[in-house]
Amino acid sequence: MLALYGHPFSSYTWKVKIALYANGTAFDFCSLGGEVPEHDAFVAAASPLGKFPVLRDGDVVVFEASSIIEHLHLHHPGPAPLLPSDPAKANRVRMLDRVFDNYVMHPMQEIVSAHIRSLDMPDPATEGRARDMLDRAYRWIDTWLADYPASNAITLIECAAAPSLFYADWCYPIPMELDRLRQWRAHLLALPAVAACVDEARPYRAYFPLGAPDRD
């Protein structure tokens, strides 16, 4: 049995859970946060900085969400095409995975971190830089979507896009004129594998530093 260590409200934990749910892959979820100290200790020792999520597959331990999904693709395949078989197409999918992690997830987390450091007065320079990054990323992705029609397939792209866009839109709403991107975000959140993650995270919304909006 696979064991995934993470937290239900964590965007990167979602990223892996979406892949697992899409393929109906059985796994034990080991929630972090102190209730089972052994879980936290395992994660702390698993990688250089002790970050989650972490996957345990027998004697094999894999960290970093994208690497975990690659491991699932290789060793626990299912109906969801997480990565194309063609190497050139797979490389393209990996590139888009980096877009969502580096240009959407990262600035979103910068905004969240600024509010955690100072809930009443987050650093305006940090927020400004992060919002500028998100604005550029949103517009690039909206253009890219013209050649990437929405479907029910879940690949590494959807695994990366769904959690990053879910939380980023809470921090800095997608502009109204970017209709393709707003519609695609809604489409992603309606996919069963993603909707399951959204529902499992609902009990933790009160902890969102910016205040969770009354939607989604």
Q: Is residue 44 included in any domain, yes or no?
A: no
Instruction: Report pTM.
Output: 0.96
Closest CA to 18 of 104, 80, 107, 84: 80
% of the chain with per-residue pLDDT over 70: 100
Do the Cβ atoms of 14 and 197 come closer than 8 Å?
yes
State residue 93's pLDDT score.
98
For residue 100, give the CATH number of its domain. 1.20.1050.10
4 pLDDT band, cuts 50/70/90, is: very high
Domain of residue 172 covers: 87-191
Q: What is the mean pLDDT of residues 204-209?
A: 96
Q: How many domains does the chain have?
A: 1
Q: What is the mean pLDDT of residues 6-24?
A: 98
Q: How far apart are CA 98 and CA 119, in angstroms?
A: 29
The 10 Å Cβ neighbour count of residue 124 is 9
34 pLDDT band, cuts 50/70/90, is: confident
DSSP 147: G
Q: Is residue 196 included in any domain, yes or no?
A: no
Q: Is residue 117 included in any domain, yes or no?
A: yes
Q: Is residue 101 included in any domain, yes or no?
A: yes
